[in-house]
Chains A and B, each alone.
Chain A
Amino acid sequence: MMAEQREEKKQQYSGETFQVVSFRLGGEEYGVDISQVQEIIRMVEITHVPRAPRFMEGVINLRGQLIPIIDLRTRFGMNRADHTKSTRIIVTDIGSKRVGIVVDSVSEVLNIPVENVEDAPEMVAGIGTEYIQGVGKVDTRLIILLDLSKVITSEEKQALDSVDEAAE
Chain B
Amino acid sequence: MSDEPFDKEEFVAYFRDEAEELLQQIDGDLLRLEEFVDSGQADPEIVNSLFRALHTIKGSSGMLGFTEVQGLAHKLENLCDLLRKERMPLSEGSVEFLFSGRDFLTDLVQAAIGQSAPPSGLNEFTGRLDQFVAIYNETSNVIEGKAPDRSEGATPVGSEPMNEAEIAAFEAEIERMLAEAAATAAPTAPATPAESAAAPSAATAKAVPARGNGESADAKKGSAQGKRSSLAQTIRVDIDRLDALLNLVGELVINRTRISDIATTLGRLMGDRALNASIGLIGPLSKDLADSAALLARTTNEIQESIMKVRMVPIGQVFDRFPRTVRDVAKARGKEVQLQISGADTDLDKTIVDEVGEPLMHLLRNCVDHGIEAPDERERQGKPRMGTISLNAYHEGNQIIIEISDDGGGINLDKVRAKAIKNGLIGTEDRLTDRELIELIFTPGFSTAEEVSDVSGRGVGMDVVKRNITKLKGIFDVDSAPGQGTRFTIKLPLTLAIIQALLVRVVDELYAIPLDSVIESQRVEMPDVRTVHGSEVITLRGQVVPLLRIADFFELGGERDPEKVMIVIVGLQGRQVGLVVDSFEGEQEIVIKPLSDVVGRIPGISGATILGNGSISLIIDVHSLVSDAYAGGKVTRAEFSGV
- Residue numbers of A with Cβ under 8 A of B are 45, 47-53, 56, 59-61, 64, 66-68, 70, 97-99, 152, 155-156, 159-160, 162-163, 166-167
6 A-B pairs within 8 Å (CB atoms) are namely A52-B599, A53-B600, A60-B616, A66-B608, A163-B600, A163-B601
* B556 contact set on A, CB distance < 8 A: 50
Nearest first, the 3 closest Cβ-Cβ pairs linking A and B are A50-B554, A159-B600, A47-B616
Q: Is B251 interfacial (CB-CB < 8 Å)?
A: yes
Q: Which of A49, A61, A162, A167 is the one whose CB lies under 8 Å from B605? A: A49
Per a CB cutoff under 8 Å, which of B251, B555, B601, B610 touches A66? B610
A155 to B596, CA, bound (A): 13
Given contacts A50-B556, A59-B608, contact A159 B616 (CB under 8 A): no
Interface residues on B, range: 20 to 34
CB-based contact A45/B554 at 8 Å: no
A56 to B251, CA, bound (A): 25
Which chain B residues (246-267) contact chain A, with CB distance < 8 Å? 247, 250-251, 254
Please state if B595 and A68 are interface contacts (CB–CB under 8 Å): yes
Which secondary structure dominates chain A's binding surface? mixed
Partner of B615, one of A52, A61, A68, A167: A61
Tell me if B603 and A67 are in contact (CB < 8 A).
no
CB contacts (< 8 Å) of B247 on chain A: these are 64
B311, CB-defined interface residue at 8 Å? no
For B78-118 the 0/1 string (1 means CB < 8 A from A) is 00000000000000000000000000000000000000000
What 17 additional pairs, Cβ within 8 angstroms, besides A49-B595, A53-B600?
A: A45-B615, A47-B617, A48-B509, A50-B555, A51-B603, A51-B605, A56-B600, A59-B599, A61-B610, A64-B251, A68-B599, A99-B598, A152-B598, A156-B600, A162-B600, A163-B600, A163-B603
Nearest A residue (CB) for B601: A163
Contact in complex: A47, B509 (CB < 8 Å): yes
- Whether B593 sits at the interface, judged by CB under 8 Å, is yes
CA–CA, A51 to B598, complex, Å? 14
CB distance from B165 to the nearest CB of A (A): 49
Q: B187 contacts the other chain (Cβ, under 8 Å)? A: no
Chain A residues with Cβ below 8 Å from B586 are: none
What is the CA–CA distance of A66 and B251 in the complex, to the nearest angstrom? 12
Given A50-B555, A64-B254, A99-B596: A59 and B616 within 8 A (CB)? yes
- From A47, A48, A64, A97, give the contact of B598 (CB < 8 A): A97
Q: List the A side residues contacting B600 at CB < 8 Å.
A: 52-53, 56, 156, 159-160, 162-163
> A51, B555: Cβ atoms under 8 Å?
yes
In the bound complex, what is the Cα–Cα distance between A98 and B608 (angstroms)? Answer: 16
> Chain B residues near A47 (CB, 8 Å)?
509, 608, 615-618
How close is A89's CB to chain B, nearest CB, in angstroms?
14
Find the B residue at minimum CB distance from A45.
B615
Interface residues of B in 599-624 (CB under 8 A from A): 599-605, 608, 610, 614-618
Please pick, from A45, A51, A70, A155, the residue contacting B602 in the complex, using a CB distance under 8 A: A51
Pair A98/B596 contact, Cβ less than 8 Å: yes
Residues of chain B within 8 A (CB-CB) of A52 are: 599-600, 602
Is B597 on the interface with A (CB-CB < 8 A)? yes
Please give, as numbers and ranges, the residues of chain A lying within 8 Å of B250 by CB-CB distance: 64
